[in-house]
Each structure stands twice: as structure tokens, then as C-alpha cells.
Structure 1
Amino acid sequence: MAVYIDDAVHPWRGQRWGHLLADTLEELHAMAARLGIPRHAFQNKPSGAHYDVPADRREHAIALGVLPVSRHTDRALLKALIANARAQARGEHD
């Protein structure tokens, strides 16, 4: 089981943001808590269950064991992670 973070490429509120995804929701929430991201920031959307992470926290997440995923070189893995996150949002996985 693992937690992943994609490239911080999404601009919003003057920053770049990435997505924190995980094999299980339990792992996802636990890592978000370790990163100081409040539970109310959880995004359980049809696009996939995730937390948004600002670029300045990405390296800290990686230092804590989160696996970086690049949309440029890890396309198949990222596609599988997004499919899993969407299933989680629909309640099909924990």
C-alpha cells in the first residue's frame, strides 16, 4: 500500500498545487494528517478522492514517504491511481 503525489502543476490562488492520492482512504487521510492538512480539505469528488497539496509541501510529503508520480513519465501509473481515486469517491473501495 502506498500514498502518491503528482506534479504540482495546477495554478490556484497564486500557487501551484498537486494531488495527494493513495491506495486506500485510510492511508490517504493518515498522510494528510501528518502533512498538517485538515480533514475538511478532503475532496471526495467524482474526479477522484484526493487532497490538494501546495507545491511548497510536496518535498515534505516525499520526505515522509509519499511516492512522487509524474504526469510526463508515469502516465500508466497515474491513470490507474486516478481510476482508483474515482472508485474510492464512488464508495467502491475503502
Structure 2
Amino acid sequence: MTVYADTPRWPRHGMLWGHLISDTSLSELHAAAERAGLPPRSFDLDHYDWPEPARESLVETGVRFVGDRELTRILLASGLRVKLLDRPTARARRSAEHAAALGLDTVPRDLILGLRGHVDPLPAQPGAFRLTRDRPEGPPRIEAHDAAGRRAAQEMLTHLDALSRARTGRGFVGQVMDGPPR
């Protein structure tokens, strides 16, 4: 059982990012990412995205560094790979499961309960929004292109908070991306 990383080369948020995978289980991957101090939000279905400054902590965690092609080969052999073509379906399934767990009757485009994982980026569409809350009563982070998107995010948060409080006694923690029908 080994956790592997490639060389960061994908730019985002002003830095370069690489991928972290396991050759056997997501549990092993989550444990290694936690030991290395990676944020749980950097999980993406079958891998963690890691920023270049985290390299030393990954080395200290015992991560093995390999080239991009080797990383892909290992991930495919592990059986954990979510193919690019299958990612929308995997996200939709996850969103439906998380919506059902909350009692949400309408499934948003992308929904995550809890801190592990991230939803798709905010689409360039009027009325769309991306909402993140990392603490039950903490302030939300709302991304939207317009007032309609900000209003929709606030309405969604109010609804999610009510459902979460009814089930857990605490406000919503998670991430959601939604918008008007396309």
C-alpha cells in the first residue's frame, strides 16, 4: 500500500498543483492527505490536488513521487480511477446521495455534505452560484456573477440550514453549486 504524487504543473489560484493518489484505497489516501496537512476540500473523487508548497510535508509523510504517466497507470490499476467521461455521472450520484441524506427534494447540480471534496467551478451563467460553508454556524463563501445568483445562494443556504438542523441540530457544512436550468 503506497500513496503516490506527481510533479505539480497545473496552474490554479496563483500556484502549481499536482495529484496525490493511492494504489489501494481511498481510506489510505485520505489518511495520507490528512497527515500531510492537505485540506479535505482538495479531494476530487479519486485524488487530491496538492499545491507545490506542500511537497516537503508529502515527503515527510512517505509519499512516493512518480511521473504523470506512471501516476495514471497506478491509478488505473488500483480500480479507483474515475474516468473523465464518468466524472459528471459520479458527481451527480454523489449529489443525489448527499441530497437524500439531508432530505433535500431537489438535487442541485453539485452538492457535498461535509468538508471532504469540492464541487465544480462556478459556471459562467447568470443566476448561478457556488456556496461553501466550513463550520456549522460560520460565514458562507458565496461566488456568483450577479445579484440573482447571490439571492439564490442565500435561499439555498437557508433551506440547507433548516434541513441540517432538523437532522443534526447544527447548520449546513458543505458545498453546493447550482443555478437556473440550462
User: Could you say which structure has the greater relative contact order, defined with CA pairs below 8 angstroms and 6 or more residues apart?
Assistant: 1
Q: RMSD across aligned C-alpha pairs, in angstroms? A: 1.9
Is 1:86 the counterpart of 2:81 in the alignment?
yes
Are the aligned partners of 2:7 and 2:67 in contact in 1 as well (CA < 8 Å)?
A: yes
2: distance between equivalents of 1:39 and 1:11?
19
**4+ residue stretches of structure 1 with deviation over 3 A?**
none
- Percent identity (aligned): 41
Larger radius of gyration: 2
User: 1:11-67 deviations in whole A, cap 9, x for unaligned?
Assistant: 1011000011012111100011112223333111xxxx0111000101220122000
Instruction: Give the AA of the match of 1:79.
Output: T
Number of residue-to-residue matches in the alignment: 81
Q: Answer 1 or 2: which has greater strand percent.
A: 1
TM-score (norm 1): 0.74
TM-score (norm 2): 0.40
Give the structure 2 partner of residue 3 of structure 1.
3
Which blocks of at least 5 consecutive residues in structure 2 are unaligned?
A: 91-182
